[in-house]
Amino acid sequence: MEFGRVHELIIQNSTADIIRQSNFMSKKLIVFTFLTIILFGGGYWVLQSQPTSNKNAESLSAHSEETAQQFTERVAPSGPYAPVSATAAHATTITYGKPKLDGTPIATEWNSEHVIIAFYRYTVTLSYADAPNDPSTNDQLDGYVYVPDKIGTGYQRIYIGTFEPDGGNPHIDSVFFSNADKDPQTELVVLVSWPQIHPPYYGAFYTVAIYDNLSSLNQGKLTHLSEASKKVNEWIDTKGDNAIKAENVQEELHRLGY
């Protein structure tokens, strides 16, 4: 498998097969380091709230012959990773709907580690004092990567990031691996778009979020590479209304010397 390519194909391994293969191929320890993820603008909100509970990687059992689709649907989180308070959203109330698996989970390899990548969509409803009968409803996405646990009976759920509404609901355009720092391991790259339907303007906003590999975790979270992400998003800003594709992002990362 070429790690610089966009993963368009979904590998239909059972979760049990993925765990067995992972235990055979890799016994390395994952070292947890502390680094605060900074989610900046240019397409998604800065998270002001903190996780409501201890967010170390959760261990989840896998059923024999269960597909990646079945597994990620069954173990869907009970709620958003870091819910925003009504006060922070300048609303009277804020309500989150039940999570729904967004699209098809990606079962693949990341630096020789067998993983499943999944995004969950939440409906977010905000009510305001000046318009109690006219609530605002939008969607947000929470991303997770599932990594086989050390004893080989299930997965650890690791938080990727949250993408919130910005003039439209977020859409995951591409998820792929590419180098975005100085070490030889590849990073996780997420290309997100927000369709904009505001006559006379029709188009989309784009943002790239880049996350470090699994050797640099922070309490159950991937580490957001803010500098590399910022450089790519500054390049996206120069493209105007042009559509951005994964191949364009990879070319820019190579141009930046990664």
Closest Cα to residue 257, out of 237, 239, 232? 232
Radius of gyration of the chain (CA): 18
DSSP secondary structure code for residue 103 in this structure: S
CA-CA distance, 245 to 240, in Å (whole number)? Answer: 14
Q: What is the pLDDT of residue 140?
A: 96
Closest Cα to residue 164, out of 64, 41, 58? 41
15 Cβ contact partners less than 8 Å away, ≥ 6 residues apart? 62, 63, 66, 67, 68, 71, 116, 155
What's the predicted TM-score (pTM) here? 0.78
Determine what percent of the chain falls in helix, strand and coil, rounding each to the nearest 5.
Answer: 15, 40, 45
- Amino acid 10 reads I
Q: What is the pLDDT of residue 130?
A: 92
Q: What is the pLDDT of residue 54?
A: 35
Mean pLDDT by 10 residues, the chain (258 residues): 33 44 36 28 30 57 93 95 88 94 97 97 94 92 95 92 93 97 96 89 91 94 97 94 92 96
Sign of CA dihedral 7, 177, 35, 153: positive
Residues constituting the chain: 258
Q: What is the pLDDT of residue 103?
A: 94
DSSP secondary structure code for residue 45 in this structure: P
Count the helices and strands in the chain (H runs, E runs).
Answer: 4, 10
32 Cβ contact partners less than 8 Å away, ≥ 6 residues apart? 217, 218, 219
CA-CA distance, 217 to 30, in Å (whole number)? Answer: 8
Q: What is the pLDDT of residue 42?
A: 33
Q: Outline where the chain has alpha helix (H).
A: 15-25, 68-74, 226-237, 246-255
- Annotated domain spans of the chain: 15-255
Q: What is the pLDDT of residue 238?
A: 94
Q: What is the pLDDT of residue 112?
A: 94
